[in-house]
Amino acid sequence: MPGERLSIRDNSAVGRFHGASESNGRAVPERHTEAKVKKEESGCRRWLRRACPCCIRQQSNPDDFTKEEDAGAGEEEGPVSPVPPSIDTELVELSLAVRSVDLLSRKSDRNRKEHHTDQYYGDQLIIRRGQTFQIELDLSRPFNPNTDKLHLELKTGPLPLVSKGTHIIIPLVDELQDERWEAKIVEQNMNRAKLSINSSTTAVVGKYKLTIVTQCLKTGETTTHDPDKDIYMLFNPWCEEDTVYMEGEKELKEYVLNDTGRIYYGTEKQIGARTWNFGQFDEGILEACLFVLDNSEVPPSGRGNPISVVRVISAMINAPDDLGVLEGNWSGNYAGGTSPTAWSGSVEILRQYHKEGGKPVKYGQCWVFSGVTTTVLRCLGIPARSVTNFQSAHDTDVSLTTDVYFDENMEPIHDLNSDSVWNFHVWNDCWMARPDLPPGMGGWQAVDSTPQETSHGTFRCGPASLAAIRSGQVYLKYDAPFVFAEVNSDKIYWQRNLDGTFSQIHSEKKAVGHCISTKAVGSDERVDITNIYKYPEDSEEERIAVETACRYGSKPEIYSSPIAEDVQVEVRMEGEGPRMGGDAQLKIVVKNTSSQPRRTTLHSQVAVMYYTGVLKGTVKKDTVNVELMPQEEKVIDWILPYTQYQNQLVDQAALMMTLSGRVSETQQVLANQTSFRLRTPDIHIEPIGEAYVGKETSAKIMFTNPLPCTLRNVVIRVEGLGLRDLHPIIVGDVGKHANVTVTEHFIPTIAGQRKLVASLDCKQLTQVHGVADINVHESQ
């Protein structure tokens, strides 16, 4: 350009654009030699010229014009063609970017079907935690694992943090592993790549923003892509590692996927039923349920724990203290709102609450609170059902009794008669393991969203373990005393004495907790589940549960304390305990430490138990009369035949024995719970010869089937750090009591004491493993 002075160095720039004017508009002949060199340069050299001008002499700074003006003397000045845009075509080709993302989120897509979310409205990606899902990426060029990096990020909540589990970084790996966030490219066709993504079984539920981050190692350039659609993460009752795991497709279809149900009302002799539309898959309901969580006190980081989520849902469905979904009204005057009896479903209630920004909907009573709770829990992936209790007690003073007070003249004292018995009351059961409680307390949990009494300052109730309620273990959280009183409290009548004290004058032991009802699995029939909440009326177990519970109430003296506690009961196991495949034998030891004879009736029952503490079902019940002389100890041999448990075991072959009884002379309550596991055989590993680094060696692996039946599709998985990577050995079927011997060959890579580990992979037999020490020498 006129007035600008060019240096010799400028020739390299001009030479790249053939025919450019160098001076006074004269065409300059092509410098063929330089052009040829340019043409033969590699892409990397051209990148280096752009990135580092001092290494490859190329003008990139206007200051260079003046620094070398003498070197350019003699050349004529003239206009120069404009410098082209700085975007380097080769750099663009090297960079890796995501052009678009297909979340494969249509109802007909594999993700939605495999995750049992294809019934939810819309085409959002709705998935369940602990299960793989797939997405497809359209890239700017094919992905090269040697020169490119790629990872995904998921963020939820207003302040996502990695430490809180609300900002998740998902690395790209070669092989996916269970129970962790990872991604793997499973298909690649030119610029398109399909990723399979594994999620954690403890992931926070909620709505996530997805970001894909790509990086080209050659250029160091990083790009990000944020798809328009969000990802919704739910609990996964189909996943065995999820706390809400439920066994049985029929049960899952009923308690998670059924969007209609039946709610019972009336009296125990005149039970009515009404259909309720839960509508958990309807338009806007998932968003409304997450809105309920957002309005709660639980931060996003706490939404991976179903115990916390259920507890906050119990609080948020009612309105008194946190502007929850429904405002209760028992006055009979429903002006300004909808009568509770007019509602027939949850959808409009939740939509209205969401649409109006969290303004409580008017009005609700117990069955409405329960119906909405069922909708929200099922929508989030927690198995749930509505439950009706007839003759339902409302204990207001934590006495665990329903108390009726009279004055000296047998006139009711209304100021004291705050306890009540409702004709019926509706709440919910939800299903989950309870790792926060002793073993055996998982399974169905009672949760009540009707605002009756506060729990830790908020109107909420539960989750309370039904197993704890049934046995009277009301000291186990949450709110077990209140639920116990609803279903199994005694009705106690009191009369005021002349000195102002009260004396118990009468009691009713069958006054509350009748015909506890819920909809049957797979039909519209009513099923009575009273036996899940309490032992049969008048049974000794039921009386023991009541008296045990009341000792933790505000009036522990209601039931006479035992005169003495001088009888002990315990369960003993010989050696390492019962073995799988044979009869399980235990010893029940009952000891009288007193100087007087003692008599008791001991009840025993054994139930199969998941390792999470959820009981599957009872496999044996016994009753035995025990008579003890002074200072006598009796040992009772207890046997569980293999035929009674062979088809019942789950997970790690765990069982729970429960003992209960009462000493006749002293009224002492005997109780004991013992969990035990049926021992499985070991895998024996025998090294063959000496082991040296870099040289093949071998070991003999031996296993005996302990069961009187054939094991199907047996695989032995072998691995050892410094010995070999994980290697599955396919064994196939193993006959009853058959021996298996395989030889494993491997090449050690690290010297020293190493461990070779083997484990059995077989659905019929779990927790079978073995280990051997391998002394690896340096290579000779």
Catalytic residues: 366, 425, 448
590 is written with which tokens?
Answer: 């009952």
Contact at 8 Å (CB) between 369 and 263? no
CB atoms within 10 A of CB 364: 30
Q: How many CA atoms lie within 13 A of 134 on its CB side?
A: 16
CB atoms within 10 A of CB 542: 18
735 is written with which tokens?
Answer: 């006959």
**Helices 285-294 & 306-316 angle (0-180, nearest 10):** 90
546 is written with which tokens?
Answer: 């009541």
Q: Read out DSSP for 432-459? A: E--TTS-TT--EEEEE--S-SSEETTEE
The backbone torsions φ and ψ at residue 442, rounded to the nearest 5 degrees and listed phi first, read -80, -175
Residue ranges for the known binding site for Ca(2+) are 488, 490, 537, 542
Angle at 327 between CA 324 and CA 328, to 5 degrees: 130
**211 burial type by CB count under 10 A (0-12 exposed, 13-18 middle, 19+ buried):** middle
Which stretches of 140-203 are assigned E, i.e. beta strand?
148-155, 167-171, 182-189, 192-198
Contact at 8 Å (CB) between 96 and 223? yes
Residue ranges for the known binding site are 488, 490, 537, 542
Strands 491-496, 402-406: pairing kind: parallel
**Helices 306-316 & 366-380 angle (0-180, nearest 10):** 150
Q: Read out DSSP for 24-73? A: TTEEPPP-HHHHHHHHH--HHHHHHHHH-TTTTT----TTHHHHTTGGGT
